[in-house]
Structure formats: structure tokens, C-alpha cells
Amino acid sequence: MKAFVFPGQGAQFPGMGKSLYEGNTEAKALFEKANEILGFRITDIMFEGTEEELKQTRVTQPAIFLHSVILAKTTPDFAPDMVAGHSLGEFSALVANGTLAFEDGLKLVYQRAMAMQEACEINPSTMAAILGLADEKVEEICAEITDEIVVAANYNCPGQLVISGSNKGIEIACEKMKAAGAKRALPLPVGGAFHSPLMEPAREKLQKAIESTQFNTPICPVYQNVSTTAVSDVNEIKKNLIAQLTAPVKWTQSVQNMVKDGATQFVECGPGKVLQGLVKKIHPEAEVAGL
């Protein structure tokens, strides 16, 4: 069985999507439609912008979404048996499996980006990657820090967990992780504490937008970050999508469940190769490829 997986923030690179735009008339039309919906030429930033310009959340999220979704939409015989996306990638996955229309997906992603940007400004916060420590140990250390917010945010693969929280909390946690034997405790260049309680203001805004958007019955199940299991029920998809902003991304568990349900081939759809690497670490026997 073939699983299509969609990357999240961090996969962007200058020039992303340019060859797709130039080499496919359908792709070009979709990119131009996106420029119209967003009210600015995101394609100019994607194709010609600097890394710095691409790193702004309001640009990064729709840029990665567009690259992923347009790639899926212009791939002949695109027929996934199951889909999943890492954080932001979940929105791409939901367009790819027919739950969301292209326009609605893009509007939600842009609203999500703006709401997250605002939440970051309200609560200056950050994230850090912890390498070489058991998940349980990372969770235990986060729980010990009670006067600051620090939580496990991204379960990327065994031995690689990202934590999220207040600047001070992350600083304290990184010292404790190193003392406990982590190979590395590395602050990440992100705008805020994604997938933590500090994203609550963004979650509330996004909830309203999600609830007023049309969701359709998908052509195949999505394995969501919050539940990690196959979901096809529209109401459940909505509920998990709303919870996603303040809940951890359980990528390791999602991939394990996809394998358990018969996935043998994982195709990464979008910029970069990050997910192919993570899938290989989670399940070395899996066949991985990129579109």
C-alpha cells in the first residue's frame, strides 16, 4: 500500500516550486490562483526571495502548502491509499485526499500562519531539538519544570524529539537534557512555541475558521498528528485539526500505525526530503521516495 506524506515548516528553500510553475500549465494556473486568493504574489517570494524572506511564518506555511498540494494535483494517477502530514503538512494531506478544496485549504493555512504569528508576538517563546534521549526521559524532564511552560511537541522519530515552551523554560530544559545524557539539545530558529499551550490564542482563532469551512468525505484515510490512527470521519478530522495547534505532533506513532495498517511505500510530496529520512528511522524496511 502506498502512503503519501506531506512536510511541515522548515522544508522551504529559495526557488521552491519554480520548475513546477514553469513546466506545467495546470500548476501555473493554481499558483496564480493562490496569488489572487492571498492578495500578494507569494510566487515571487518562493521563486526569487531570500531564505530570510521565506522564513516569515505568513510566507513559509502557504509556500510549503502550495508546493506540496500543486505537486500532488499535477501528478498523473495520484492515488494514495492513505495520507499524513507533519504539522502544517496535515492541511496539504487533507486537500490531497479530497477533504478540503484547494482554495479552502489555502485560506485556512494562511489564517493559521497569521494566528500563529500573532500568538508568537503575545508570548515570546521557542523550540529545541533533543537528540539521543528516550522519549520518556524527555517527557519526565519537561514535567519537572513547573514554573515555566515546556512540553514535548514533535515526536519525529526514535531519539529525536522537539520540545516547545517559554524562552526561559527551553533554556532550563536544554541544560537538564544535556545533564541527563542527550547527545544534543539544540534551540531551533523558529518564531515561537508551536504545538504547546502557548498557541492557545491561535487555536481559538483557527477553530472559528475551521468550523465555518466545508469539509468533504475523503477518498482515503488521513493519519492525524493528534490521534495517529486512520480517520475518515469528517467531524473527527475537524476536531483533531483544531486540537493540533496546542497538541504534540505524534509523527513516530502515525508512521508506525500506517505500517501496521499495510503501508509499504512512503512518498514524500513537497519540498525537501525530511520525512523520507524520518520514515526510514522509524521503519527501516519501508520503501521511501519523493515526488
**Helices 200-211 and 102-122: angle between axes, nearest 10 degrees:** 160
* Residue 288: other Cβ atoms inside 10 A: 18
* Residues 72, 84, 241, 168, CA torsion sign: negative
Catalytic residue among 195, 196, 227, 283: 195
Catalytic residue among 67, 68, 87, 125: 87
Sorted by sequence, the CB contacts under 8 Å of residue 140 that are 6+ apart come out as none
CA 237 – CA 190 distance, rounded (Å): 27
Residue 195 falls in the annotated catalytic set: yes
Sorted by sequence, the CB contacts under 8 Å of residue 254 that are 6+ apart come out as 84, 223, 224, 225, 228
Give 207's DSSP letter.
H
- Cell 492513505 sits on residue: 82
What is the grid cell recorded at 141? Answer: 524532564
CA 12 – CA 9 distance, rounded (Å): 7
Strand partners, 83: 4, 222
DSSP string for 68-137: HHHHHHTSTT---SEEEESTTHHHHHHHHTTSS-HHHHHHHHHHHHHHHHHHHHHS-EEEEEEESS-HHH
Residue type, 207: Q
Give 67's DSSP letter.
H
Residues taking part in catalysis: 87, 195
